[in-house]
Structure 1
Amino acid sequence: MSSDPLFGWDLTFKTVEKDIKQKPDVIVAFIHWNLIKRGFRSIGIGDESTLTGDESRSELLPTGWNNNDNYTLRYLFEEKLFILHGLITNGNLIVNLMRSVDLAVSNTAVTIEETVNQTSGSIDKLLPNYKEFMHNIKRDLIDTIIDKPTSSAQTQTAASTSTTSRNSNDDPLRVMPTPMPGVVPDNHNLWDLPPNLRNVGRSDLDPFAPPGGGMIFNPFTPRRDIENPGLGIPGGLPRGAVPPGARFDPFGPPGVGPLPGRRPPPPDADHFPPPGDDMFM
């Protein structure tokens, strides 16, 4: 008997057949039967979202279930309250199933005239496409909300997962260690020693080590401008260092001539007396 997908439908419909007033009633009765098959139990009508604990559970539709323009039915499943809402609009029946503990909602929409052929008779005459309709009820209305955990369960599961499976490397507050000096950037292990530890700091011991190592400045490196070496170097000062007409003794030892192919240094002005001064007379 249990292998028959329609087992129990005839009995359910017989209990409400005298109450059927319109085609949407057939749809709601069929949805109710699908809920009962999945373990839901009816506890009355209305949209009260609290439980008193003494609700009477039943497999039958409650008295007055289709007395209003819209449908509001209350169910219990796994000790949780569910409220079924049915709204008729523009030839459609919009059905929502809400879990009151966290307001999770599943829904389905049914075109009334395409779904219900007549309001009495066998299932084939009532709902010609009942197999597809059963599939949609199971997929969209029931399984969607049953398989969805409550918000409290989601929070506890997420907290447990993050506590047990978090890796210290995934911690966003973890401070990454500073790589050791001299480590090759391409080396994935930043804590490995340099490949040749003996060469670390060697350039600081050789003032003329290429490319210009050490702490002593070499003015005669290939990159140095010998023609204009700068302050304190034989050959003169940079252009503009001595104002025009000023008396100035060039730096460097006397008698040092210009380098081959270079212009001569400026003349020594000591052989001219200073203007208005006869101390050299």
Structure 2
Amino acid sequence: MADALFGWDLTFKTVEKDVKRKSDVLIAFIHWNLTKRGFRSIGIGDERTITGNEAQSELLPTGWNDKDNYTMRYMFEEKLYILHGLNTDGNLIVNLMRSDDLAVSNIAVKIDDTVKEMMGAIDTLMPTYKDLMYNIKRDLIDSIISGPTATAETQTTRTDSTSRRPPEDFLREPGMPMHRQSDTRDLWGLPPLNVGRSDLDPFSPGGGGMLFNPFNPRGELENPGLGIPGGLPRGGIPPGARFDPVGPPGGPMPGRRQPPPDADHLPPPGSNDFMFM
């Protein structure tokens, strides 16, 4: 881990006399990690504009820990970044914001659990510094400087995937045409549009009803239900079931008008109907 800590001793020696509290050690450590990745300090404050003539340095700026909270500005790849450090309830919450698009990364560190001493070698200052270095690199630095690249790759992948022809899907195949030209007649080609219509129309001339004959959807084929009580289609009565015919025995012939319902009025004179005797 010696190479990974290269430059830390020099950085801390330059600010050791200015350290006032444990959070100062954390800010100095974060600053050193930033400079290792190419960030350069251009002073304190949170001003989001730059002139292009700012002096860039690897050192912490003058007055960096004069206040309870920390605000410093950095340049990285010609873009301005602002570092905020907030002391709250024993934690140091650090945000790194890129000024041009307001992208933000952050970490939170428990001060007393991380910093044990304010002077000495790194093992004395922060026994768990390795974990802290990893979190700073992953959550504070890499997450913000790698963000735009990851987004661009995602958009490129999405564009390529949408432009590529989707795989063949049998559900996308065109449906079978309603009218097919074939040697075998399709009894199911035409929908029974009038099924149930006569049940809703008291003045219906007859025919139709909820009992649909699948063998005669348009009256174009011979009715195999003729001769079955009530004129029902074959299979309309379950085997062995008791059946009360819905009309006179034999049923009406297709196309003929059915008698009105409940035709139990008095017969005309001379009739041979003895049903009322």
TM-score range, shorter chain: 0.5 to 0.7
2:252 corresponds to: 230
* TM-score computed with the length of structure 2 as normaliser: 0.67
Distance 1:221 1:34, change over 3 A: farther
> Do 2:267 and 2:273's aligned partners in 1 also have CA atoms closer than 8 Å?
no
The Cα of 1:74 is off from its aligned counterpart by: 0.9
> Do 1:45 and 1:73's aligned partners in 2 also have CA atoms closer than 8 Å?
yes
1:180 corresponds to: 176
Which amino acid in 1 is paired with 2:65?
N
The Cα of 1:60 is off from its aligned counterpart by: 0.8
Structure 1: which 5+ runs fail to align?
171-175, 184-193, 249-265, 270-281
The Cα of 1:202 is off from its aligned counterpart by: 7.9
1:187 corresponds to: none
Residue among 185, 204, 207 paired with 1:200: 185
Structure 1 outlier segments of 4+, above 6 Å: 231-234
Structure 2 residue 219 is the aligned partner of structure 1 residue 215: yes
**In 1, Cα distance between equivalents of 2:7 and 2:250:** 108
**In 2, Cα distance between equivalents of 1:159 and 1:167:** 12
**In 1, Cα distance between equivalents of 2:133 and 2:24:** 16
2:52 corresponds to: 53
> Do 1:231 and 1:238's aligned partners in 2 also have CA atoms closer than 8 Å?
no
Distance 1:121 1:232, change over 3 A: closer
**In 2, Cα distance between equivalents of 1:203 and 1:27:** 80
* TM-score computed with the length of structure 1 as normaliser: 0.66
**In 2, Cα distance between equivalents of 1:201 and 1:126:** 88
Residue among 159, 165, 170 paired with 2:161: 165
Query: 140-149 or 6-15: which moved more?
Result: 140-149
Distance 1:95 1:213, change over 3 A: closer
Structure 2 residue 11 is the aligned partner of structure 1 residue 26: no
**Paired residues, number:** 227
Deviation string 1:215-260 (CA, Å, 9 cap, x unpaired) is: 25747253616616237999x9576347324469xxxxxxxxxxxx
**In 1, Cα distance between equivalents of 2:59 and 2:70:** 15
Q: 1:56-205 residue pairs with structure 2 within 5 A?
A: 56-149=55-148, 154=151, 160-167=156-163, 178-181=174-177, 197-201=182-186
**In 2, Cα distance between equivalents of 1:199 and 1:5:** 83
> Do 1:47 and 1:72's aligned partners in 2 also have CA atoms closer than 8 Å?
yes
Give the % identical residues: 53
Instruction: Report which of the two structures shows the higher radius of gyration computed on alpha carbons.
Output: 1
The Cα of 1:121 is off from its aligned counterpart by: 2.1
**In 2, Cα distance between equivalents of 1:86 and 1:98:** 12
**In 1, Cα distance between equivalents of 2:165 and 2:124:** 64
Deviation string 1:182-211 (CA, Å, 9 cap, x unpaired) is: 69xxxxxxxxxx8x932135899xxxx983
In structure 2, the residue corresponding to 1:26 is in which secondary structure? helix
1:254 corresponds to: none
Structure 2: which 5+ runs fail to align?
167-171, 190-212, 232-246
1:267 corresponds to: 272
Which amino acid in 2 is paired with 1:212?
N
The Cα of 1:88 is off from its aligned counterpart by: 0.9
The Cα of 1:84 is off from its aligned counterpart by: 1.0
1:244 corresponds to: 266
What is the RMSD of the two structures over their aligned residues, measured on CA atoms? 3.8
Distance 1:268 1:131, change over 3 A: closer
In structure 2, the residue corresponding to 1:96 is in which secondary structure? strand
Distance 1:80 1:125, change over 3 A: same
The Cα of 1:22 is off from its aligned counterpart by: 1.6
Distance 1:166 1:232, change over 3 A: closer
The Cα of 1:118 is off from its aligned counterpart by: 2.2
